Chains A and B, each alone.
Chain A
Amino acid sequence: AQSVTQLGSHVSVSEGALVLLRCNYSSSVPPYLFWYVQYPNQGLQLLLKYTTGATLVKGINGFEAEFKKSETSFHLTKPSAHMSDAAEYFCAVYFTGGTSYGKLTFGQGTILTVHP
């Protein structure tokens, strides 16, 4: 079955520390991968995406993610957390084949808390 899983519903880091938000997917066909961020009472904002080409993609606000096909992962990282990064982050997968073809499927979300 095709699915997307975010490991850890809550992640807490200190300001200036590394941010690592994990996302794994299950699919026999390479999907397109996205990370979205949702600030309180706001819509979903695209951080970055991977479709083809370079597997390390850079997004807005200093975030980046690496597509690792062998690990079926697309983890989101940022070298140094800022207070303004506190939000909920969703990994999303657009399956290019199979029963979930054509729909953007979201992970369960990870709430990032940044401590001073």
Chain B
Amino acid sequence: AAGVIQSPRHLIKEKRETATLKCYPIPRHDTVYWYQQGPGQDPQFLISFYEKMQSDKGSIPDRFSAQQFSDYHSELNMSSLELGDSALYFCASQTRGNSPLHFGNGTRLTVT
């Protein structure tokens, strides 16, 4: 079965650079979530989209932005990267409602 696809798997950037993370949800899933998981931390909700519109916002820095495109894939754009942005970034998708989230394998971002 198709799963949530994230790219790239690993990304190394320097401070003050920008990064773009991509997420391709499971077909027919209309909702996408982004989570950030710092080293040894539980996943923290960043932002979500439903039918290409932002539906909720969590602890996402102003330096980050995201959008969901017409094909339902989503991109998380991160600017002015800081060392503290080093983390595993997960994308998850679902059909809106009580269906469980299905997670991608994440993008590991390292900021040096």
Contacts and interface: CB of A to CB of B under 8 A. Distances in A.
Contacts of B58: 103
Contacts, number: 43
Interface size class on chain B is: 20 to 34
By CB atoms of chain A within 10 A, which of B48, B55, B100, B103 has the most? Answer: B100
B14 interface: no
B2 to A, nearest CB: 14
Given A43-B103, A43-B104, A44-B90, A90 B42 contact: yes
A103 B103 contact: no
A106 B98 contact: no
A104 B103 contact: no
A44 B42 contact: no
Contact of A43 (B33, B42, B55, B90): B90
Contacts of A104: 33, 45, 92, 101
A102 B42 CA distance: 18
Given A32-B98, A103-B56, A104-B33, A44 B45 contact: no
By CB atoms of chain B within 10 A, which of A32, A43, A107, A108 has the most? Answer: A43
Contacts of B98: 32, 51, 94
17 contacts: A34-B100, A42-B106, A43-B4, A43-B90, A43-B103, A44-B92, A44-B103, A45-B103, A46-B101, A94-B98, A102-B56, A103-B48, A103-B56, A104-B45, A104-B101, A105-B45, A106-B42
Interface of B: 4, 33, 42-43, 45, 48, 55-56, 58, 90, 92, 98, 100-106, 108
